Amino acid sequence: FAFERMAAIEPEGRSSVHIAADDAGYLDSAPIGALLDRLSLALRIAIREARAQQSLRDQIIQAEKLASLGKMAAGVVHELNNPLTSILAYSEYLRRKGERGGFDPSDIERLARINDAADRIRRFTRDLIAYSRPSTERPGAVSLHDIIERALVFCEHLLDQTGVTVEKRFGEIPPVHGVIDPLTQVFVNLFTNAAHAMHERGGCLGIATALSPSDGYITVSIQDEGHGIKADHLSRIFEPFFTTKTDGTGTGLGLSIVRNIVAAHGGAIRAAQRAPRGTVFTLDLPIALPSSGRR
C-alpha cells in the first residue's frame, strides 16, 4: 500500500496499530479516525487485562512455591531438631562441667562457640518456616528499643566482621503493640542486609526512632552506606524469592518475611535510595494501647 497511518495504543509506545491504504485522503477521513480511536481503546483494554491475568498467574505460581517451601521447611526442621537439641544440651553440659572442673579456658570458649553455632542453626530453621507457621505468642506492649538492642547483639559478630559501626538516635517513644520474637527477626534481617551491603568498605548503620506524624505509630528509620538498591528493583525487593545478591547467598525470602511480619503487626515498611549512597528502610509500627499488657 502507498499510504499508512499509525496510532499508539500505549503511551510508552510498546504497542501500536497500523492501517494501510492506497488513498491518503481515505486514511485522513473522520470515520477512519473514529475507528482508530475505538480500536486503540479496545486493544488497550485487552492488553491491560491480559497483563493482569499474567500477573495473577505469576502470583499463583509464587503462592504454590511458598506452600511447597512450607512443607519442605517443616520436614527439615523436624529432621534437624533432635540432633540440634542433643548438640545444644551436651555442649552446654560440658561447658558448665569444664568451668567447675578447671578446664582450659580456650576449650570452654570452643564449647560455647559450638553451642552458639547450633543455636544459630536452630533459629535459621525456625525462620525458614515463618511463612507456614505463624507465632503463637500473644501480642502485647513491648519496648522497641529493647528489641532493637537484642537484634544488635545477635548481629554483633557480623557487624564487626564487615567493619560496620552503629549510630543510634533513639527518641522518647512509648511501647509498641507486638510480639518480641518476630519483631526481633525483622531487625535481625534488616541489620544483616545492611552489613552485607557494606561488606566491601564498611560504613555506618544508622538507627533512629521517633513518634510518627501519623497518630498512633512509631517510625523506625534504618540507614546504611552500602552499594544501594537500583531504582527499578525497589518495587520488587519485598517479593518472595526476589534477590539482588548474585553470589548465591540470598534466598529472596528475608525482606518478604520482614514485610509479612510488619504487616501482621498492623504496620508498614518501605525502602528508598539514600544520597549519596546506601539505602534507607522506614517502618511504621502501632503504639500499644494503654490496656495492652507489658511484655
Q: What is the pLDDT of residues 157-213, one digit of tens each?
A: 889 888 999 999 999 999 999 988 889 889 998 998 899 888 888 899 999 999 987
Local structure of residue 175 (DSSP, 8 states): P
Residue with more model confidence, 16 or 212:
212
Joined together, the cell numbers standing for residue 182 give 518476630
Q: How far is CA 143 from CA 123, 190, 293, in A?
A: 22, 18, 12
pLDDT grade, residue 56 (50/70/90)? low
Tell me the sheet residues that pair with 177. 141
Superfamily of domain 140-286: Histidine kinase-like ATPase, C-terminal domain (3.30.565.10)
Q: What is the pLDDT of residues 248-270, one digit of tens each?
A: 455 556 788 888 889 888 999 99
Quote the CA–CA distance of 130 and 255 in Å, as a whole number.
12
Q: Where are the alpha helices (DSSP H) in the chain?
A: 24-27, 30-101, 105-128, 144-154, 156-161, 180-197, 254-264
Whether residue 191 contacts residue 152, with contact meaning beta carbons closer than 8 Å, is answered with yes
* Of 56, 67, 180, nearest in space to 131 by CA: 67
Q: How far is CA 174 from CA 140, 142, 209, 225, 292, in A?
A: 13, 9, 11, 29, 12
Residue with cell 528499643: 145
Give how far the C-alpha of residue 231 lies from the chain's centroid of Cα atoms, to the nearest Å: 16
What's this model's pTM, rounded to 2 decimal places? Answer: 0.56
Joined together, the cell numbers standing for residue 70 give 512450607
Domain extent listing, the chain: 1-133, 140-286
What's the mean pLDDT in 264-278?
85
Phi, psi of 152 (to 5 degrees): -65, -35
Q: What is the pLDDT of residues 95-141, one digit of tens each?
A: 889 888 888 888 889 998 898 888 877 776 766 655 455 556 788 89
Whether residue 81 contacts residue 89, with contact meaning beta carbons closer than 8 Å, is answered with no
Quote the CA–CA distance of 138 and 178 in Å, as a whole number.
8
Per DSSP (E only), the strands in 175-278 are 176-178, 203-211, 217-223, 268-273
Question: In which region does residue 266 sit, left (phi positive, over 0), alpha (psi from -120 to 50) or beta (all else)?
Answer: left
Any idea which of 42-46, 54-58, 100-104, 164-168 has the lowest mean pLDDT? 54-58
